[in-house]
Amino acid sequence: MNNVYIPITVDHIARVEGKGGVEILVGDDGVKEVRLNIIEGPRFFEAITLGKKLDEALAVYPRICSFCSAAHKLTAVEAAEKAIGFTPREEIQALREVLYIGDMIESHALHLYLLVLPDYLGYSGPLHMVDEYKKEIGIALDLKNLGSWIMEVLGSRAIHQENVVFGGFGKLPGKATLELMKKRLQEALPKAEYTFELFSKLEQYKEVEGPITHLAVKPRGDVYGIYGDYISASDGNEFPSEDYKEHIKEFVVEHSFAKHSHYHGKPFMVGAISRVVNHADKLYGKAKELYESHRNLLRPTNPFANNLAQALELVYFAERAIDLIDEALAKWPIRPRDEVEIKDGFGVSTTEAPRGILIYALEVKDGKVAYADIITPTAFNLAMLEEHVRMMAEKHYKDEPERLKYLTEMVVRAYDPCISCSVHVARL
């Protein structure tokens, strides 16, 4: 039989955030087509916030995604503050970054232990691992709870924080609470290191080895981190964030409610591994040591290295948050909020969300949103992710369909896609 294509489909990829499926068409002579269907419905966030009051739009944007709602909130607020010409005080910026780190810790812990690890241990999901892997589940919950608690204290809630406002915060915790936060972060460090050791032993599938272009936000202040005003690429290029449209092009594809993106005409990757590839020289402390001793595993050529890069970041960001809290405590007592005058203007903020570069471009006119462009990490990653799923499928299309599905799902999970985030975004 010639050209008879057998579809192999996963309707609903499990253990990711959001709704997507994989479709692989296999013929006699190999893989014909690979599609990552993003079937999560559209939510039109840019369109629905146009003409809306800025503070109301800023309450709505984080609802793009729960796994990274703090990332959305803080990036949107920074874009809005840039637009109206306001720069928060250093100690406020430090505490906002701690809040962001809370999101990073929660998101990474959740992804690594509950979404990724079950595949390696042969379980369909974490709830079945409870009896056998008490220690791992315990660490997962401890780290996740620490991240949630940080977001609750500084953001008002673990999901959809309201406590970040123009000019600062609605309310700040007392000094004793920040000291307790520091203590809890210190106690979490051994658990983060255990996570790194655990994930350093897991297989990274050679089937998907190949060159990858990585993009990451160049951290402000030359310390590995979240905020920055330039984007760096692993091809040596670097450009100001506000020029993102000159380098990254978005386009609609038929099989997905989320758009795809190309950098200079080609798929690219963002996320923890991209941050490590582009900016490992700015790591410090224990994380730097771990990076040095495990460089061979943190490879720029394999998307599975993203899992280990996230584990490395658990260690790094716990230490970084401690330093940022110290910075804030050194200026205690801190005024939570400055008066802000809402002027007209345009602002672009680029930050590193748990899954990679997050862009908010906002124009403000008469206190209202006049233009909004939001591009999320998963939307950036989708084209590259589809390529890696194809590579895996090409090597395994003769295997049992169940095995093929399992392996391709693992590729998807290594990217930690936030499908909800990826849908709805970007005004043309």
- Residues belonging to the binding site are 46, 65, 68, 374, 418, 421, 424
Contact status, residue 221 vs residue 335, Cβ threshold 8 Å: no
Q: Output 239 or 371, the one with its CB closest to other proteins.
A: 371
Q: Output 42 or 210, the one with its CB closest to other proteins.
A: 42
Strands 230-233 and 238-240: antiparallel
Q: How far is the CB of 218 from other proteins (least distance, A)?
A: 29
H/E segment holding residue 248 = strand 248-251
Residue type, 207: E
Q: Output 336 or 345, the one with its CB closest to other proteins.
A: 336
Residues 6+ positions from 426 with CB-CB distance below 8 Å:
46, 250, 259, 373, 374, 375, 379
Q: Output 228 or 356, the one with its CB closest to other proteins.
A: 356
Q: Output 53 or 395, the one with its CB closest to other proteins.
A: 53
Q: How far is the CB of 258 from other proteins (least distance, A)?
A: 9
How deeply is 106 buried, as exposed, middle or buried, from its count of CB atoms within 10 A (0-12, 13-18, 19+)? buried
Residue type, 286: K
Q: Output 5 or 44, the one with its CB closest to other proteins.
A: 44
Tokens of 361: 């471009």
Q: Output 154 or 217, the one with its CB closest to other proteins.
A: 154
Segments in 112-234 forming alpha helices (H): 117-121, 134-155, 175-200
Angstrom distance (rounded) from CA 242 to CA 349 = 8
Q: How far is the CB of 420 from other proteins (least distance, A)?
A: 5
DSSP, collapsed to helix, strand or coil, labels residue 381 as helix
Angstrom distance (rounded) from CA 307 to CA 410 = 11
Q: How far is the CB of 412 from other proteins (least distance, A)?
A: 12
Of 239, 305, 234, nearest in space to 273 by CA = 305
Angstrom distance (rounded) from CA 395 to CA 162 = 47
Q: Output 6 or 47, the one with its CB closest to other proteins.
A: 47
Of 317, 193, 212, 210, nearest in space to 274 by CA = 212
Task: Summarize the annotated binding site for Fe cation as residue ranges.
Answer: 68, 421
Residues 6+ positions from 117 with CB-CB distance below 8 Å:
126, 129, 136, 198
Return the half-sphere exposure (C-beta side, CA atoms, 13 A cut-off) of residue 269: 31
Read out DSSP for 93-138? HHHHHHHHHHHHHHHHHIIIIIIIHHHHHT-SSGGGSTTTTHHHHH
Distances (CA, A) of 269 to 35, 263, 355, 360, 390: 17, 9, 10, 18, 15
Task: Summarize the annotated binding site for Mg(2+) as residue ranges.
Answer: 46, 374, 424
Task: Summarize the annotated binding site for Ni(2+) as residue ranges.
Answer: 65, 68, 418
